[in-house]
Amino acid sequence: PRIRELFERAVLRPSQGQRRVATSGSATMLDRVSIFKGDITKVEVDAIVNAANRRLLGGGGVDGAIHRAAGPELLEECRTLNGCATGDAKITKGYDLPAGHVIHAVGPVYSSSKVDIVSGQLASCYSTSLKLAAQRSLKTIAFPSISTGIYGYPIDDATHIALSETTKFLQSEAGRGLERVVFVVFSAEDETVYHDLLPLYFPLP
């Protein structure tokens, strides 16, 4: 029940600029995104995204938290995947998590001298994860802020990429079935960044 409650909050919590309720049943783009501050392992969605590394065998940060909460069967399935390239993503079941699936996306390690490359790889993490979810007919997906922890990507730049890829995908034919994308932030600073930038990509109609 607590998890259910959390999910309801995640899903129903209005993001900044989302004060107006959609009229006459026509869902706006803003009805399809939320910001949720908390632990992604507690969020009950069809898929949570893991900020994984290329080996896909667990690690620190959100990766470690997801493996701990999902239980050892997640690692067993991950062993069969033969790793994953940077910028790509692979999907598994969610095991003991409230989320049905885990999409393991491998973000780039930030390098200011390779911004062209790393920004493309980070964008690809989001677009590939969204595509995987849509291909499986999943309706709700939650992202952590990929690469902005141990991998050092500046939160502002990374958030622009996350929001830009998400709005592009939700407006595309492939994204039609996706009902909700939740951005899970772990700190008050990150929450502020998402709140400030969200209206740039999801304006009120």
Q: Write out the residues near ligand ADP by the rule CB under 6 A.
A: 39-41, 51, 61-63, 65, 107, 144-151, 184, 186, 190
Residue nearer to ligand ADP on the CB measure, 175 or 185: 185
**By CB neighbour count within 10 A (0-12 exposed, 13-18 middle, 19+ buried), where does 153 fall?**
buried
Residue nearer to ligand ADP on the CB measure, 57 or 65: 65
Shortest reach from residue 166's CB to ligand ADP, in Å: 16
Residue nearer to ligand ADP on the CB measure, 27 or 188: 188
Residue nearer to ligand ADP on the CB measure, 111 or 171: 111
- Token pair, residue 116, equals 């062209």
Shortest reach from residue 12's CB to ligand ADP, in Å: 19
**Integer Rg of the chain from CA:** 16
For 24, half-sphere exposure in the C-beta direction (CA atoms, 13 angstrom radius) is 0
Shortest reach from residue 198's CB to ligand ADP, in Å: 16
CA 98, CA 6: separation in Å to the nearest integer? 11
Shortest reach from residue 69's CB to ligand ADP, in Å: 8
Q: Please name the residue ranges forming H helices in the chain.
A: 2-12, 61-70, 72-79, 115-135, 155-171, 188-201
Beta bridge partners of 183: 35, 143
Shortest reach from residue 189's CB to ligand ADP, in Å: 9
Residue nearer to ligand ADP on the CB measure, 40 or 78: 40
